[in-house]
Structure 1
């Protein structure tokens, strides 16, 4: 496989099996995760978005189904914090090395604590951003957890 992004390079280095899925990214599509799921003909329950958050002023990464709503209270609790908020997009881009719309939990510039929605474990595979807009990777939920050293938790509202 080619090392198309830092995310796929990190997956290869970790020995994780994955498949690349590309689609035409539309920045005007509104909810880009739902657009991605529709573009590749995949059940939105299997397509996950990567969100960067601040928990008690410390960066963290959460990976949740694209159609789901995040509960900041549950995010804070998952990381043992008191409060959580979305990381501003410019900060997320600097922290991860990826552009918004192409942020992946794999191969980030700075490794941060990561949580994967426990819903992922019920799926035979998950589809997560592969490090650039319009570029996804399909892999097992267990491999996603292993590659990011993630915890799994109830993160949804």
Structure 2
């Protein structure tokens, strides 16, 4: 039986390499984690398609508001804002080494093994390859993007 994915429960999507399958995505929810045999790009595109969000326009609009061109947060709604995290060492050229974390699911950011680690509300710990400073900047940009979303969609 095929497992139904509940998009609103996704805390993080991380790239993982599975032997004999290739690049896959580990999806973390508050209750469980499982591996989907699609790349991280496909999973984030499916998430955006489910919520009728254009990733291109998300990048243009929030990137210009925040003054950044790379690693622009993906804003689905005020409860779902995903930021980039550098999750692993690239295995080969053009390998997706980054994942996405919902900022509303982040409990704490701390130093572990010389790099930033994220403690999620569910208790999962995600080890990254970036500094605490750059991870906190990404989370701050995500919070600012969420505030911009709230301002644009405020009911009058």
Q: Which has the higher contact order (CA 8 A, sep 6+)?
A: 1
Bigger fraction of residues in strand: 2
Name the TM tier (shorter chain).
under 0.3
TM-score by length of 1: 0.26
TM-score, reference length from structure 2: 0.26
